[in-house]
Structure 1
Amino acid sequence: MMQISDSHNQKNSLFNAMNRFIGAVNNMDQTVMVPNLLRDVPLDDNGDMKAVRTANGATTAYFHQDADMYSSYVLLKSIRNDIEWGVLQDDGWGKDRPGVEEVSRAGVEEDDLEKQFHYHLNGLHTVLSKLTHKANTLTNRYKEEIGCGN
């Protein structure tokens, strides 16, 4: 059973990283009263946002330097919704991907699965940290744009 003293060790947990991101996006959402004011305002952050084609042929956007604050705002809210509510299972990701049986027959060992898990967990932590920073940056930039400061 977890004790309260363990909470310090959990600061880097995936759950806490997701909560920090969701909190930052909620703060951004509550601060940005007129999202249309964000249109054509450059984010001026060192992030990248480019369009990529996913495995199912759909196009997805992620941060790049030419993006305006509005597109970043919409994207951050969309990611928050995906975390809170999940993504649709019929998103095309299951197509052309091997099922559990095929993966098992392919000889994937448990240590490989553990390595994959840790690799993706580290990547998810990194992405969530960057997205949290983006949400906080956007919130602060919006305050600057409307003259509220910090």
Structure 2
Amino acid sequence: MMQISSDSTSNKHSLINVMHRFIAAANNMDETIMVPSLLRDLPLEEQAASQVEDNNNETASKQRDMYEHYLLLKSIKNDMEWGLLKREMSSGASFLEMAVKQEEQQPVTGDLVVDDNAELEHQFHYHLRGLFGVLSKLTMRADHLTNRYKREIGGGNFMR
């Protein structure tokens, strides 16, 4: 039986740690934002600055508000915790089962196995780097959204 080393969870650059940071940031966002509807029609700060520069109605209508970012982050967190949604899978099979079926349909010869292994390793590292980048950006967005919500409602201090 393969055991996961406890060192991987203590390494701040491990995939597991990056995933935990995003989920923690999304949970903090979800616990902080008590009234998500207050986020409607509030542009992100970066978008508000670009709207002033562009002053173009087409650009303003395409940009998402904070509420849409909130829903997106919650959805991604749920997908990470619970797996792909069944509505996305036409056959109801798990993602792993679908990948195995797709792999079985491709013909394999002895010479291709070595090339496939090198290609698989390259694909793995490519997607791992991408996953680290995406999770880091999502974590920063969840933190930004939480902090912006706190500023909008007065930092949780209702007595002014």
The TM-score by the shorter chain falls in which range? Answer: 0.7 to 0.9
Contact kept in structure 1, 2:37 and 2:67, CA below 8 Å: yes
Query: Is 1:135 matched with 2:132?
Result: no
The code of the aligned residue for 2:72 comes to L
Give the number of the structure with larger relative contact order, counting CA–CA contacts within 8 Å between residues 6 or more apart. 2
Q: Deviations over 1:62-113 (max 9, x none)?
A: xxx811000000010000000000013552588xx98112345384510100
User: How far, CA to CA, are the matches of 1:137 and 1:104 in structure 2?
Assistant: 48
User: How far, CA to CA, are the matches of 1:37 and 1:129 in structure 2?
Assistant: 26
User: How far, CA to CA, are the matches of 2:130 and 2:106 in structure 1?
Assistant: 22
**Alpha carbons of structure 1 residues 120 and 12: separation in structure 2 relative to 1, 3 Å:** same
Aligned residue number for residue 71 of structure 2: 74
Q: Deviations over 1:23-49 (max 9, x none)?
A: 000000011011000000001247xxx
The code of the aligned residue for 1:28 comes to M
- How many corresponding residue pairs? 127
Contact kept in structure 1, 2:18 and 2:132, CA below 8 Å: yes
The code of the aligned residue for 2:108 comes to R
> Map of 1:24-35 to 2, 5 A cutoff?
24-35=25-36
Percent sequence identity is 52
The structure whose Rg is larger is 2
**Alpha carbons of structure 1 residues 7 and 101: separation in structure 2 relative to 1, 3 Å:** closer
Counting helix residues as a fraction of each chain, which structure ranks higher? 2
CA displacement at 1:139 relative to structure 2: 0.3
Q: TM-score, normalised by structure 2?
A: 0.69
The code of the aligned residue for 2:14 comes to S
- Gapped runs of 5+ residues in structure 2? 48-61, 92-98
* Aligned-residue CA RMSD (Å): 2.7
